[in-house]
Structure 1
Amino acid sequence: MSISVSSRSASSYAFSSSSPNVLGAQKVVVVTQGTIANRDFNDLIVPTLRALENMDVVVVALTGRADADIGAVPSNAYVADFIPLDHLLPHTDVMVSNGGYGGAQQALNHGVPLVLAGESEDKIEVTARTAKTGAAINLATGKPSVDALRNAVEQVLHDPAFLQHARRLQSKYRMLDVFAEVDATVEELSRDAL
């Protein structure tokens, strides 16, 4: 089933009544290929849907494109072109991602562990560094197999260390006030320019 949503809160997204319940689900897995490396959904989204179709999870696949065609969607999955991650991640247990910097940072900011599979742009660095924190599994490929994805998601869901590491990083993010830091830097640069 494919849906397009543009609402402002996770509880008000127009999920159809025949779709799985994201907000009430025991386990939610989000999969995304980001906004740039999303030309071929057979790289990550389609194999993730196949890997998780028989698991007791609800899968939310974010395509980043309104014209996405990913074929048949399993009964435990939604496909949407866009849902703001800040609204979806508080309900998410694992995020499967191609390792884009923005998505990985948002997941960690919400304390969500990751399964990463990406090799383009900055993704080799992001996937390696995120896995080194203990908050992610790096599949070290841009085109993981169905079995590798299933095994990695199961490992992250069942090994509490991934969640603990993700939550540790979340607490560090919470200690930072990015806007105050930017403001102080601009203020300092303005004084120096005078």
Structure 2
Amino acid sequence: MRSLAILGGGGHARSVASSAERAGWTSLALFDDRSPEAWERGPWPVSGSTDDWAAAVEAYQGVLIGVGDNVARLALHLRASGLGAPATTLIDPSASVSRHAHIGAGSVVLAAACVNVQAQLGQAVIVNTAATVDHDCRLGDGVHVSPGANLAGGVVVGARSWIGIGAVVRQGVAIGCDAVIGAGAVVLADVPDGLTVVGNPARKLER
């Protein structure tokens, strides 16, 4: 039996669990720090809090973070690593990942996604449903590429940045750390650290 702990209990955790099940993990347990009243119903039980998982870390052959928030996901991943939990990555069987790509520990590549040759993903990265990361892209720790987003070749994305659903990033563009690319945005130029851009072509979001 291959036993996997997933830290998180919301929709993303269940997406990770679904891909893990398809990838051959046979026993799945979710751990969520919200109160039991807030735990979402689903095919896999929420077995307790992340502290409960930490107290039984040796019972699981792997651990993944099922949290969408980039900062929280990366923090949980580093906590798990510090406890000596096995370094785990997840690639959905329907995804296409080049054997010449590097997928960092704690990262997930979900259903129908594509990661191409010599792409490099850091730790705790999400390449979500049907997203594409083309050749020679470099994604820092904690990045989230949302469903249907497309990164052309040679794109660089800094740590903890979020690429919104359906966004498109032109080849060779550099996106800084903690940046947000809005849903459907078309990014044609570099994006500095911490900036939110939206639209086609993408421009700074005026608040």
Task: Please give the range of the TM-score, normalised by the shorter of the 2 chains.
Answer: 0.3 to 0.5
Q: Greater strand percent: which structure?
A: 2
RCO comparison, higher one (Cα < 8 Å, 6+): 1
Q: What is the TM-score when the length of structure 1 is the normalising length?
A: 0.38
Q: Select the structure of larger CA radius of gyration.
A: 1
* Greater percentage in helix: 1
TM-score, structure 2 normalization: 0.36
